[in-house]
Every structure is written in structure tokens, then in C-alpha cells.
């Protein structure tokens, strides 16, 4: 169970509290949505759960996070330029620590209506995919990586309505 207790995140630059005295528990199998306007700390909170070092240069943090999950899958809002230059195959298999679950990958790709035939081109770079295709590929990769906890930062931003319904099933 992910346990967050009395968490306060403060921006170093202006001392503005991004998150104030947040406490919550998320059990295995549960889903949680964080909803708020732009700039209210949603991404910062996800990055903190993923790895506190990702936000230490611009925030101070008080409170505790206990995260017993062994493997966290993270879907960022955008891919870096370096990631966009990777081929699809490099993206899928680079930094894969464990065995990749091809069955879960292909099932998720089918659920999300991702054209895997298109992805078989060994020279296809992520930057040449549409935003929706990149997002679907990232989600299918997360399924294949067998993460214990998924942190999805704005997962529906580049999806059409039909794909958003598929994401809910995902």
C-alpha cells in the first residue's frame, strides 16, 4: 500500500505551497485520479512518488511517503527530445530490467487500437508517430514492463474519445 502522510511540498523560488498536508493510502489494485488546474502540483507529486530526487532542486518536502511497490511504471506528460529520437524498438527494449511480457504488450496494444504492424519498421522513430500513437505505445510498453504501480501524468491528453474509453479499461 502506498501511504502518504502529512505531505507538504513547497516551491523553493517563491515559498508557495504546492501541496499542503496531504494524507492518503492507495492499496494494490486501486485507482486514484488527481484532478486540478494547471500548475497545482499534480506532476510534482507524481515525480516525488516516483523518485524524490526528481524534484529536490526546486522544492522542499515535509511528511512521509512509504512506497512498498517494487517496480513503478511512469508515463510522463511529454517525452524528451532524446526519447523522441529513439526508434520504436530502442524505446521498447532499452533499459528493460526484467523480462518483457509480450502478451501483455500486444493485448494492451489491441485494446488501445495501436497499429503494431506500423511499429515493426526498425527505422521508425518515436518523433514520427502522432501524439496519440506515442501515448498508446507508452501505455502498451508499461503493460509489458509488469509494473506494480502505474503513475500516469495526463494520460488522455493526446487520445481521441474512443481511445479514452480504452484507456479506462486499461
Q: Which three cell numbers stand for residue 20?
A: 499542503
Closest CA to 2 of 72, 82, 104, 85: 72
Q: CA 109, CA 96: separation in Å to the nearest integer?
A: 18
Sheet bearing 59-66, strands edge to edge: 17-26, 2-11, 59-66
| 63, pLDDT greater than 90 | yes
Q: Does the predicted model carry a pTM greater than 0.85?
A: no
Domain 72-169 class in CATH: alpha beta
Q: Write down the pLDDT at residue 81.
A: 92
Residue whose C-alpha cell is 504488450: 105
Q: CA 10, CA 22: separation in Å to the nearest integer?
A: 12
| 93, pLDDT greater than 70 | yes
Half-sphere exposure of 106 (CA within 13 A, CB side): 5
Q: Write down the pLDDT at residue 169.
A: 77
Residue ranges of the domains in the chain? 2-66, 72-169
Amino acid at each position: 500500500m502506498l501511504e502518504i502522510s502529512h505531505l507538504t511540498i513547497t516551491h523553493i523560488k517563491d515559498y508557495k505551497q504546492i501541496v499542503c498536508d496531504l494524507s492518503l493510502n492507495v492499496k494494490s489494485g486501486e485507482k486514484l485520479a488527481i484532478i486540478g488546474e494547471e500548475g497545482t502540483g499534480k506532476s510534482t507529486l507524481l515525480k516525488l512518488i516516483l523518485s524524490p530526487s526528481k524534484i529536490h532542486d526546486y522544492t522542499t518536502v515535509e511528511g512521509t511517503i512509504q512506497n512498498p511497490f517494487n517496480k513503478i511504471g511512469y508515463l510522463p506528460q511529454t517525452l524528451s527530445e532524446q526519447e523522441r529520437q529513439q526508434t520504436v524498438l530502442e524505446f521498447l527494449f532499452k533499459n528493460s530490467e526484467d523480462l518483457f511480457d509480450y502478451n501483455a504488450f500486444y493485448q494492451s496494444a489491441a485494446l488501445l487500437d495501436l497499429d503494431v504492424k506500423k511499429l515493426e519498421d526498425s527505422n521508425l522513430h518515436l518523433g514520427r508517430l502522432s501524439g496519440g500513437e506515442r501515448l498508446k505505445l507508452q501505455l502498451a510498453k508499461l503493460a509489458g514492463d509488469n509494473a506494480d504501480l502505474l503513475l500516469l501524468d495526463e494520460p488522455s491528453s493526446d487520445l481521441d474519445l474512443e481511445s479514452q474509453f480504452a484507456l479506462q479499461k486499461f
